[in-house]
């Protein structure tokens, strides 16, 4: 057991590859299937001219990005920076969680942090510090420095062995007395969404379900997401766009859409807007697109000026993620 507790291994998914990190070093990258992602291109110079390149060039770019996160922000090490108050990604989950906590739309967030696993926090800057630059984290092991910093910031570490279990995390948040809780759920764990709805009803609390990291998720799990989630990040999944889009009240962005499915989801997003009343007053029987495409109705989300229009959803664009295998993704 001691040898297991002392291991240092972390696995995340980035640009469709599984990336393994140990002792602050990237030790393995699986072959990517994605060839283009507009968000990666926007955020990382290594991906600015990656489209059409061979798999080794893409793997090299992935390695460079993860190593930069380790170097500059202390990811996967005791040097991890865990407080950040600015908006990094226009429609990011951690950004929305930060604003929802700031405006008391939720009392706590249940999120995932490398080196700590499932974490409960009520601190806006901590939830953004954890998630702003983190990609889909699948497995992690304890890092004492990260756990110590999180505890000093009044966060609850649900499992000392850094297990990732968001369902148990929400149960612990309820036990701690929180009544309005938001939680991020990986698309591969979509079965937890139904369990959390049952937990919500049994305990008389409000749980905002954020379905994230949906690239490659099977259609049966996407169906569960459509049935139970409040917000859904489409990532690089064309199936999510086609199956979830028609169910949405709001679509945020065209390149990598975020779909808002419920009134609770609309209320949650309203905290991210300067014009909260405008979002709250939307007719939930209709569908709306919010993007940077000019329209006469303007609003501000996070630190970005955007526009809203009534539209039939989903709205797709040519500038979407694409894969080597065209059967895996069907662009417009």
Return d(Cα 161, Cα 191) in angstroms, integer: 23
What per-residue confidence (pLDDT) applies to 323? 57
What per-residue confidence (pLDDT) applies to 328? 44
What per-residue confidence (pLDDT) applies to 231? 98
Profile the chain (332 residues) by mean pLDDT over runs of 10 residues: 65 93 97 78 68 79 93 97 94 97 98 98 98 94 98 97 98 98 97 98 98 94 98 93 97 95 98 96 97 92 95 85 50 30
What per-residue confidence (pLDDT) applies to 15? 87
Return d(Cα 228, Cα 300) in angstroms, integer: 28
What per-residue confidence (pLDDT) applies to 52? 60
What per-residue confidence (pLDDT) applies to 58? 87
- CB proximity list for 1: less than 8 A, separation 6 or greater: none
Task: Please list the residues that pair with 209 across neighbouring strands.
Answer: 183
Q: Per-residue DSSP letters for 244-296?
A: HGGG-SEEE-SSS-EEE-SHHHHHHHHTTBS-HHHHHTS-TTS-EEEESS--S
Return d(Cα 216, Cα 324) in angstroms, integer: 13
Return d(Cα 50, Cα 69) in angstroms, integer: 19
Domain ranges of the chain: 2-73, 93-316
Alpha carbon 300 to chain centroid distance? 20
What per-residue confidence (pLDDT) applies to 7? 83
What per-residue confidence (pLDDT) applies to 34? 80
């Amino acid at each position: 057991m001691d040898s297991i507790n002392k291991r240092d291994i972390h696995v995340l998914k980035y640009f469709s590859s599984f990336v393994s990190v140990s002792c602050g070093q990237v030790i393995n990258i699986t072959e990517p299937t994605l060839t283009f992602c507009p968000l990666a291109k926007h955020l990382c110079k290594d991906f600015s001219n990656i489209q059409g390149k061979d798999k080794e060039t893409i793997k090299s770019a992935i390695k460079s990005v993860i190593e930069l996160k380790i170097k500059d922000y202390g990811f996967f090490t005791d040097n991890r920076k865990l407080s950040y108050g600015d908006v990094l990604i226009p429609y990011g989950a951690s950004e929305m969680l930060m604003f929802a906590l700031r405006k008391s739309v939720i009392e706590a967030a249940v999120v995932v942090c490398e080196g700590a696993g499932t974490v409960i926090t009520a601190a806006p800057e901590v939830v953004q510090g954890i998630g702003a630059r983190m990609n889909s984290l699948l497995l992690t092991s304890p890092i004492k420095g990260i756990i110590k910093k999180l505890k000093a910031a009044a966060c609850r570490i649900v499992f000392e062995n850094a297990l990732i279990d968001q369902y148990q995390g929400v149960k612990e948040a309820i036990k701690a007395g929180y009544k309005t809780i938001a939680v991020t759920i990986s698309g591969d764990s979509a079965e937890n969404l139904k369990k959390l709805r049952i937990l919500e009803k049994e305990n008389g609390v409000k749980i905002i379900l954020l379905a994230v990291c949906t690239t490659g998720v099977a259609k049966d799990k996407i169906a569960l997401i459509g049935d139970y989630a409040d917000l859904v990040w489409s990532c690089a999944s064309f199936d999510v766009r086609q199956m979830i889009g028609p169910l949405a009240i709001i679509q945020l962005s065209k390149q990598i859409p975020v779909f808002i499915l419920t009134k609770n989801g609309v209320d949650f997003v309203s905290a991210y807007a300067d014009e909260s009343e405008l979002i709250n007053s939307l007719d939930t029987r209709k569908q709306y697109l919010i993007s940077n495409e000019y329209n006469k109705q303007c609003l501000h989300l996070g630190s970005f000026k955007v526009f809203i229009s009534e539209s039939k959803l989903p709205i797709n664009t040519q500038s979407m993620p694409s894969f080597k295998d065209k059967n895996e993704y069907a662009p417009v």
